[in-house]
Amino acid sequence: MKVILLGEIKGKGGEGDIVDVAQGYAENYLFPKKLAVAATKGELKQLEQRRNNIAKREEKRLADANALKASLDGKQVTVDVKVGDEGILFGSVTAAMVADAIKAQHDLDIDRKRVELGKPIKVAGAHTVPVSLYRDIRAEVVVLVGVTAADAAAEETAEVAEEAAAEEAAAEEVAETVEESAE
């Protein structure tokens, strides 16, 4: 059954798109929630008249999403939770917790359904979480779980120091091997 979408539906399309859906889906979900109308000749004619307005709204949505991406991309968000001895959480960090932390720390309203965790976070540390803003516009947020920003910086510095020490040890080992082969 062909329908005209009146708003964005994830996986189907955006406002003004003509899509083919199952009849039951259209009659039991889309029509009662006023998310779509049947694609009759009269509705198609009205759609052509509204195309300019739809295009303007789409431009505004894209501009808003890009502005939100610019202000959100790469930001750090701290979520405080109870952490066990080995860095395993008591419970987990959910998308709703991440959305609430973004609201509290950066004053940006993000719907929890837009936070794409996949599965809940159950380990302390820094995690990169994608946030879907509009269609294919996504921002990356660094979520610090059970770790403060100072702890994360210290942890990163410690990792860099460990890597440098390992490289130095490897260089010394190579130098010893070269000396032994020269003798």
Q: What is the C-alpha to C-alpha distance for residues 1 and 174, in angstroms, rounded to an integer?
A: 71
Cβ neighbours of residue 139 closer than 8 Å, sequence gap 6 or more: 68, 69, 72, 73, 130, 131, 133
What amino acid is encoded at 44 in this protein? Answer: L
Q: Judge contact between 116 and 131, C-beta under 8 A.
A: yes
Decide yes or no: CATH 3.10.430.100 for domain 71-146.
yes
pTM: 0.67
Q: Judge contact between 113 and 95, C-beta under 8 A.
A: yes
Helix (H) or strand (E) holding 100: helix 95-106
Annotated domain spans of the chain: 2-70, 71-146, 148-183
Cβ neighbours of residue 3 closer than 8 Å, sequence gap 6 or more: 18, 19, 20, 21, 26, 30, 36, 37, 38, 39
CATH of 2-70, one of 3.40.50.20, 3.40.50.2020, 3.40.309.10, 3.40.5.10: 3.40.5.10
Tens place of pLDDT per residue across the chain (183 aa): 999 999 888 889 888 999 999 999 999 999 999 999 999 999 999 999 989 999 999 999 999 999 999 999 989 999 988 888 888 888 899 999 999 999 999 999 999 999 999 888 999 999 999 999 888 899 999 999 985 444 545 555 656 667 767 777 777 776 676 666 666
